[in-house]
Amino acid sequence: MIKAAIVGSTGYAGEELTRILLQHPEVEISHVTSHSFTDQRYDGVYHNFNKRFDNICEEENIEKLANNSDVIFIALPHGIASSKITKEILNKAKIIDIGADFRLKDKNIYEEWYKTGHESPELLEESVYGLCEWKRNEIKNARLIANPGCFTTCSILSLSPLVKENLIDLNSIIIDAKSGVTGAGRTLDIGTHFTECNETTKAYKIASHRHTPEIEQELGTLAGQKIQISFTPHLIPMQRGILATCYANLKDSSVTYAEIKEVYRKYYENEYFIRLTEKGVFPETKWVRNSNYCDIGFAIDRRTNRIIIVGAIDNLIKGAAGQAIQNMNIIFGIDEKTGLENIPISL
């Protein structure tokens, strides 16, 4: 059995990690930590775990966790993991960081966008960006996984085949994305109070969202050149889900829907967690709710010579906990579907 520790287990992503890992046939949860609920029973924080998981939430001690665990999931805000993870820790346990500290390879870009210092820049080169469908071979031998962000997972998966095959003008990419409220985390904030976000939709962090350089980095790597995108996120009044509508100009105005579909099949036909929709059918967040799937559909606008790609994921599963567990499965040589095969809940 793989012994797994969860740091930040009482946040939304941490709760999903706990729930999924408890049902994973190859995993035993060794420790759960929580700064806000130290010494409290887990099923007293989340009552849905009644009769399923009554372990005590501990104060985090990374050395103790590394000594008693095979893998440590870190579900904390940015700026914390980089001060805790060292090469000595990595010699003892695999680290899967759900936060942002090891996603960006350039320390200066990280500090510019996240407005904080990076405490372990020497580990940035070693860290592997854990987008499973595109980084599987690198993930297999990794000690430190940077789990991708939710907006980025949906956007990159939706656009990557087109970028890789040089089918679109890289300077024309626009991503318009919507997120459920859980994407903001469990910390109290006036902007996510019920009366502030119910019955309204708003764009936020326009031209300044921190997932922008992450998307540019990964798509740029596929393209073999630096790129810049326009990315605008929106908060919508639902609990969970990401819907990313991506726009780009086609390089060849004569390319057909069937030819584009073959490109997506080339990369995703054998990917269990990527589902391509039929022509004229476009993903909805309810089709992927509570699952590790990413649904992708597209249309060609002949009038403007643009392709429009729609992607949908559950931000807490494929955009966080589910992808983290998929990464764990790959690292430990387990079928990566293990523990993640539940059918989405549409209602």
Rg of the chain on CA atoms, in Å: 20
Is residue 255 within 8 A of residue 225, CB to CB? The reply is: no
Residue 282 — left, alpha, or beta (φ > 0 → left; ψ -120 to 50 → alpha)? beta
Give the separation between CA 183 and CA 196, rounded to whole angstroms.
15
Separation CA 70–CA 65 (nearest Å): 9
Residue-wise pLDDT tens digits, 220-251: 999 999 999 999 999 999 889 999 999 999 99
Pairing state of beta strands 144-146 and 128-129?
parallel
3-state secondary structure of 26: coil
User: What's residue 81's pLDDT?
Assistant: 93
Q: Which two tokens stand for residue 27?
A: 């995993």
pLDDT at 322 over 90: yes
User: First-to-last CA distance in the chain?
Assistant: 34
Tens-digit pLDDT profile for residues 10-21: 999 999 999 999
CA distances from 30 to 7, 57, 333, 334 (A): 11, 11, 20, 19
Residue with tokens 């297999």: 140
- pTM for the structure as a whole: 0.95
Report the distance separating Cα 258 and Cα 260, nearest Å. 5
Provide the pLDDT confidence category of residue 3 given band limits of 50, 70 and 90: very high
- Cβ atoms 96, 29 nearer than 8 A: no
Q: What confidence tens digit (pLDDT) does each residue in 122-137 have? A: 999 999 999 999 999 9
Read off the pLDDT of residues 122-175 as tens digits, 9 standing for 90 and up. 999 999 999 999 999 999 999 999 999 999 999 999 999 999 999 999 999 999
Q: Work out whether the CA dihedral 155, 157, 162, 166 comes out positive or negative.
A: positive
Nearest to 164, CA basis, from 25, 243, 260? 260
**Domains, the chain, with CATH or none:** 2-126 (3.40.50.720), 151-315 (3.30.360.10)
Structural contact between residues 290 and 312, judged by C-beta atoms closer than 8 angstroms: no
pLDDT for the residue numbered 52: 96
Model confidence at 306, in pLDDT bands (50, 70, 90)? very high
**Residues labelled catalytic:** 150
**Residue 193 pLDDT:** 73
